[in-house]
Chains A and B, each alone.
Chain A
Amino acid sequence: MSWLTLLGLAAGAYAFKAVGLVLLGGRKLPAKLTDVMALLPAALLPALVVVGTLAAGGRRALVLDARAAGVLVAGAAAWRRAPFPVVIALGAVVTAVVRRWS
C-alpha cells in the first residue's frame, strides 16, 4: 500500500466520521429528523450483530456456525440485564468451546 493510498483512505474515512458530527453540531433540527436520528443506533446495531454473527468471511453468504451459539447465549444474558463484561465473555467462551468441539 502506497502512502498516497493510505492517506486517501484516512481522509475519506475521516470525512464520513466528521460530516454528521461537525456540520450538524449544535444546530436546532426538525423534530422528525431528530426522531429518525435517535433511531439510527436501533436500526444499525442489529445489522452489526447479523453481519458479525452470520456473514461468511470473504464471500457473500450467510452461515450458521459456532458464533451463532455464542451470540445467542450472550443475547439471553443481555436481555436479563447481565453486566456487560459477562455478556462479552459468554459470547467468546461459548463460541470458542463450540468451535473446538465441532
Chain B
Amino acid sequence: MSERSPVAASVVLGVAVGAFGMSFGVLCATAGLSTAKACALSLLVFTGASQFTAVTVLKSGGSPAAALGSALLLAARNGAYGLAVSPFIRGSRVKRLASAQLVIDESTAMATAQGSDAMKEHGFYAAGLAVFVFWNLGTLIGALGGQRIGRPESLGLDAAFPAGFLALLVPHVRTVSGRRAAVGGALIALALVPVAPAGVPILAAGLAALVGLRSHRPERVGEDAA
C-alpha cells in the first residue's frame, strides 16, 4: 500500500461509503426526520455507526438519552484515532480543530497504512475528505429519494468495509508487536461482541495496543513495508 498514492484507494472507499450514506438518508426519511436533519447529522456528527445507532434507537421508541448514550459509546473510538494520527497531522491549532472532524475509521486506517509521515498525512486527508463528500452526498440523495433506493447489502457492500479495513491492516502486521496487537484486538472483539453493547468491543480492543509497553526496542510500525 505504501508505494501507491492513497488518493485512488480513498475514492474507492468513498464510493462504498456513499452507498451507505444513501441508506442512512433512507433510514432518516423512514424515521420521520426532515431532510435538513438528516443532512445536519451527516455534516456535523460525521461518524456513520453512531448516526445509524442514534436514529435506529429513536425510531424504535428509545429515549433521547438512550440514543445519545449508545451513539457516543460508538463515537468514543475516534478518541483513540485522534491519538493515533496526532503525530503526523501538522499545522496550527486552528487547522487541527478543523481536521478533527475528519478523524474516523477510514481516514485513520488509510493514513496509518502509508509509509512516511508525509504520506500518512496525505492519506488522512485523502480518505477523510473523500468519505466526507460521498457520505454527505449519499445522505442527501437517500433522504430525498426515500425507499426507491435499493439496499446496499444486496450488492455485498456491507462486506466492503471489513474487507477494506483488513487490507489497511496488512502493513501493521508485518512487525512482531503489530501482530501481537492485532491478534489481541481481534480476540478482545470476538469475546465482547456477544456480551457487550455495540461500541464497547472496538473501544476495548484498543487495550491490545498496550503490548507496546513490553517492547524494549521500539519498532516503528509501517516503515518496513516494502
A5 at the interface (CB under 8 A from B): yes
Give A60 Cβ to nearest chain B Cβ, in Å.
Answer: 5
Per-residue contact bits, chain B 28-55, to A (CB 8 Å; 1 contact, 0 not): 0001010001001100111100100011
Pair A18/B194 contact, Cβ less than 8 Å: no
Q: Give the docked Cα–Cα distance between A25 and B94 (Å).
A: 11
Q: Give the docked Cα–Cα distance between A66 and B72 (Å).
A: 29
Pair B160/A21 contact, Cβ less than 8 Å: no
Pair A42/B181 contact, Cβ less than 8 Å: yes
Pair A2/B86 contact, Cβ less than 8 Å: no
A64 at the interface (CB under 8 A from B): no
Pair B170/A1 contact, Cβ less than 8 Å: no
Pair A51/B193 contact, Cβ less than 8 Å: yes
Question: Which B residue's beta carbon lies closest to that of A79?
Answer: B170
Pair B72/A9 contact, Cβ less than 8 Å: yes
Which secondary structure dominates chain A's binding surface?
helix
- Interface residues of A, count at CB 8 A: 74
Pair B189/A42 contact, Cβ less than 8 Å: no
B178 at the interface (CB under 8 A from A): yes
Pair B85/A70 contact, Cβ less than 8 Å: no
B212 at the interface (CB under 8 A from A): yes
Give A73 Cβ to nearest chain B Cβ, in Å.
Answer: 8
> Which of B99, B156, B179, B188 is in CB contact (< 8 Å) with A66?
B156
Pair A20/B81 contact, Cβ less than 8 Å: yes
Interface residues of A in 72-90 (CB under 8 A from B): 74-75, 77-79, 81-85, 87-90
Residues of B near A62 (CB, < 8 A) are 190, 193-194
Q: Which of A10, A49, A66 has the most CB of B within 10 A?
A: A49
Per-residue contact bits, chain A 29-57, to B (CB 8 Å; 1 contact, 0 not): 00110111111111111111111111100
Query: What 4 A-B pairs are tightest by C-beta distance, nearest first?
Result: A91-B163, A20-B82, A96-B156, A47-B205
Q: Given known contacts A1-B31, A19-B82, A74-B166, what 6 new A-B pairs fall within 8 Å (CB)?
A: A18-B97, A40-B83, A40-B84, A42-B172, A49-B166, A67-B162
A-B contact pairs, 19 of them (CB 8 A): A5-B68, A16-B78, A17-B78, A20-B81, A31-B218, A36-B213, A37-B83, A42-B172, A43-B185, A45-B169, A45-B182, A49-B165, A52-B158, A52-B161, A60-B195, A82-B167, A87-B167, A92-B155, A95-B156
